[in-house]
Structure 1
């Protein structure tokens, strides 16, 4: 009798644990789909109409390529948490159009980069002819990019910082902050500076907020941007383009 009773108790405990696990998994999946910041329609339509950019939509990511030309440098860009990957196409379009940099905007599992365990080559394989690859990302996407950076030739952080210690590497790093960012503030980015290589370059864009790095509208807790979308796009292209040229020439 005692053995049967013990088995019944263990069975009930097992079923209870299973129900809790299923509820946690289901709740996480549901949460990941709620409140996703969608790409703004007008900027996305503009990049799709840009004759200097070729867009390829793949299950793993969105590829922005220079139209009618080849590219030797690529950027794997990881979106911020619960932000539509298409929201970054307009912001990053000038990298392809003006700097001949192919951009792969990843499509993270469950809209969260931390749940996406794919290696860097899952995205670089979309454009196999690229010679030099930079890993990068916005906000929490940048934190994930830091984890993949040792498989890349360089790292670019967009309103983000590393939780991974890269200070002992010789990885070229460009970290771009926004003066009006209320979520990844310039102070927070500076506080994590010790996790980057000594020669990492930190740049602050005057007037940029957290959401200035994508075209998905305002974000709770963020500052108010004072920079226009056009200026933001141009400054990002100038900074990342010049950095890519430096990495390419030094390699």
Structure 2
């Protein structure tokens, strides 16, 4: 009887663990992408390789290009709609695919993908991708032109306050993974004069086209609105940088 109980317990345990991991994996998949996300048109051309999905802008003469790091474990395609919108507004955007979806293992690959010394690259990302973008800036002073961060408490473990790089951080009022209190706690480690902008009613998950991630709070605005606000703030900031040439 003891053996039967133990066997039943193990079956239940492994079943619950399996269900949990399947549910977790599902929430990190991209979903509900706009139907035209990967279509070529008069404004954007899409080129995909093993290392990136490039959204090549054909609508302006802006020289700066965006390097976008995906969040940890997330399907990179979850950020494709935002990257496409960035390109439609005139900035070529490179959405980097990380091996095993882990930016902390693969973030340095951009050193061989791009001629970073030409001074035209804007780097950033979401969540763990934002952490690794800020770490890349920390490790390579003066190399990147601009830093943007979405839904992250970083820089947390290193200090960028002495760096003179134009920076912007967007954070969700209801972010359950990078809370407002954590963002505020580490704001003094951002580059000086960084713009810090709260997305009212926004959460962590809706910076991408994802399911609701574990421990995240329910947003009070819908996905389209959070994406629109994020895009507007980023494009305004990028334009400001262009106008300061």
- 2:197 matches 1:203: yes
Q: Distance in 2 between matches of 1:93 and 1:35?
A: 25
Tell me by how many angstroms 1:71 deviates.
4.1
* Other-structure match for 2:159: 165
Coordinate RMSD, CA, aligned? 2.3
- 2:141 matches 1:153: no
Q: Distance in 1 between matches of 2:158 and 2:202?
A: 25
* Other-structure match for 1:66: 57
Matches within 5 A, 1:88-237: 88-97=79-88, 99-125=89-115, 132-149=120-137, 150=141, 151-160=143-152, 161-162=154-155, 163-237=157-231
Tell me by how many angstroms 1:228 deviates.
2.4
Q: Which of 223, 227, 242 is equivalent to 1:248?
A: 242
- Structure 2 gaps of 5+ residues are 1-20
- Structure 1 gaps of 5+ residues are 1-30
Q: Distance in 1 between matches of 2:113 and 2:199?
A: 28
Question: For residues 71 and 62 of structure 1, do their structure 2 counterparts lie closer, same or farther at Cα, with a shift above 3 Å needed?
Answer: farther
Tell me by how many angstroms 1:242 deviates.
1.3
Tell me by how many angstroms 1:234 deviates.
2.1
Q: Distance in 2 between matches of 1:70 and 1:59?
A: 27
**What TM-score results when the alignment is normalised by the length of structure 2?**
0.79
Could you say what secondary structure the match of 1:118 adopts? helix
Question: For residues 164 and 249 of structure 1, do their structure 2 counterparts lie closer, same or farther at Cα, with a shift above 3 Å needed?
Answer: farther
Tell me by how many angstroms 1:104 deviates.
0.8
Tell me by how many angstroms 1:68 deviates.
5.7
Could you say what secondary structure the match of 1:239 adopts? helix
Q: Which has the larger radius of gyration?
A: 1
Give the length in aligned residue pairs: 214
Q: Distance in 1 between matches of 2:182 and 2:101?
A: 24
- 2:26 matches 1:38: no
Tell me by how many angstroms 1:114 deviates.
0.8
Matches within 5 A, 1:14-33: none
Tell me by how many angstroms 1:69 deviates.
5.2
